[in-house]
Amino acid sequence: MTYMNNLLEQLQPIFQDVLDQPNLTLTLKSSGQNVDGWDSLAHINIVSAIEREFKIRFALGELQDLKNVGDMIELMKAKLAT
């Protein structure tokens, strides 16, 4: 579980930067529905920033199923494990 928390901590500055919200606190349940400014364009920028930071690539089909930050972390763990 510490790995999950670590990824959540590592994602924090990415989301804060892309959404221009320095005080944003992410949780596993954070999503476009409950975070101000997280629209479709911001989502693309978030995904791009995550891909650059972690040197991973997401397929469009994988991203469609993501409901929140927790789902993103699960997908990232699978990508980072390979």
What one-character DSSP code corresponds to residue 31? -
The CA distances from residue 28 to 11, 22, 82, in Å, are 11, 18, 23
Question: Which helix (H) or strand (E) element contains residue 81?
Answer: helix 69-81
State how far the Cα of 30 lies from the Cα of 26, in Å rounded to an integer.
6
Per-residue pLDDT of the chain (82 residues), as tens digits, is: 556 669 999 999 999 999 999 999 999 999 999 999 999 999 999 999 999 999 999 998 998 889 999 999 999 999 998 7
pTM reported for the whole predicted model: 0.90
State how far the Cα of 4 lies from the Cα of 41, in Å rounded to an integer.
26
Q: What does the domain layout of the chain look like in residue ranges?
A: 2-81
- The hierarchical CATH code for the domain 2-81 is 1.10.1200.10
